[in-house]
Each structure stands twice: as C-alpha cells, then as structure tokens.
C-alpha cells in the first residue's frame, strides 16, 4: 500500500527538524564539522519532504540545490532556496572524509562561524518548507 503523500512528507520534515535540533546540540560541543554535515542533511530531508508530500514516490539525490530546482518545477518559489542549498551542499562530503580536504581532517577544518552560517541556511530551508508541507 502506498503511503499517504502528506504523511510521508511530514515524516521527512520531522526528521529534518530533529537533525537541526541535534546540530544545535553538537554546536555546544564544538563539533563544527558534524554540525555542518547534519544541517546539510536537514535541508536535504526538508525538501525531500516537500517532494514526497506532492506525491512523488521516489526522490533521489543528495544535493540540496538540485532538490530545490526539482521542487521549483512544482512550485517556482523554490528557486529562492538554490543559493542556500548550494552553500549547504559544500558540507556534504568534506565534513566527513579527510581525502576531500587538501590537508588535515574534517574535525580541524571547520569552525563556529562555518557551523552558524550553515545552521542559518538550513533554518531558512526548513522555515520555507514547513508551511508548504503542513508541519
């Protein structure tokens, strides 16, 4: 049986919201690289939630910017999220893998400013998506 689209969208949005809360917790622990990764995930899941709520059965991809572009095919106002999505996408790989950085390791490459900026961008995405999904 196919899940109810709105309910499925809300599930994804709820996880995005939780990821943002967990990122705030990590910020207090100065785990800046993990904050940046987790808020990228929050943005990704929020937009996927919107797409699932529209009735899509399978949403692929991890790029927040690409997902915003896909959502813009349904609602053109999502184009406004592409810049924030592009910035969040920069945190998908290098926050986790040392070989994605020219030197050092992810836990040494990110600072509080990086984390706060990424959190603000993810918050922008969630604030935009929440009323559209019904959360």
Tell me the CATH number at 32.
1.20.120.330
Residue 99 to residue 16: CA distance in whole angstroms: 27
Secondary structure of 54-100 in HEC code, one letter for each residue: CCCCCCCCCCHHHHHHHHHCCCHHHHHHHHHHHHHHCCCCCCCCHHH
Token pair for residue 92?
């998908």
End-to-end CA distance of the chain, in Å? 24
Q: What is the pLDDT of residues 83-103, one digit of tens each?
A: 999 999 999 999 999 999 998
pLDDT, residue 135, reads 63
| CA dist 133 → 102, 108, 118 (Å) | 40, 37, 22
The whole-model pTM stands at 0.95
Tokens (6 digits) for 12: 């994804």
Question: Residue 96: which domain range?
Answer: 5-130
Structural domains in the chain (count): 1
Residue 114 neighbours by CB under 8 Å, 6+ apart: 32, 36
| pLDDT for the residue numbered 58 | 87
pLDDT at 3: 79
Question: Which residues does the chain have with pLDDT short of 70?
Answer: 1, 135
The pLDDT, as a whole number, for residue 134 is 84
**Does 122 map to a domain?**
yes
**135 part of a folded domain:** no
Q: Is residue 34 one of the residues assigned to a domain?
A: yes
Residue 29 lies in a domain: yes
């Amino acid at each position: 049986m196919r899940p109810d689209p709105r309910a499925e969208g809300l599930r994804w949005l709820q996880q995005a919201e939780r990821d943002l809360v967990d990122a705030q917790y990590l910020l207090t622990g100065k785990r800046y690289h993990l904050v940046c990764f987790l808020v990228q995930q929050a943005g990704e899941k929020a937009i996927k939630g919107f797409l699932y709520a529209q009735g899509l059965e399978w949403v692929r991809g991890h790029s927040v910017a690409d997902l915003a572009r896909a959502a813009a095919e349904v609602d053109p106002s999502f184009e406004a999220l592409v810049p924030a999505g592009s910035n969040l996408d920069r945190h998908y790989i290098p926050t986790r893998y040392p070989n994605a950085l020219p030197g050092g390791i992810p836990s040494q490459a990110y600072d509080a400013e990086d984390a706060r900026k990424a959190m603000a961008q993810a918050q922008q995405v969630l604030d935009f998506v929440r009323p559209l999904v019904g959360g």
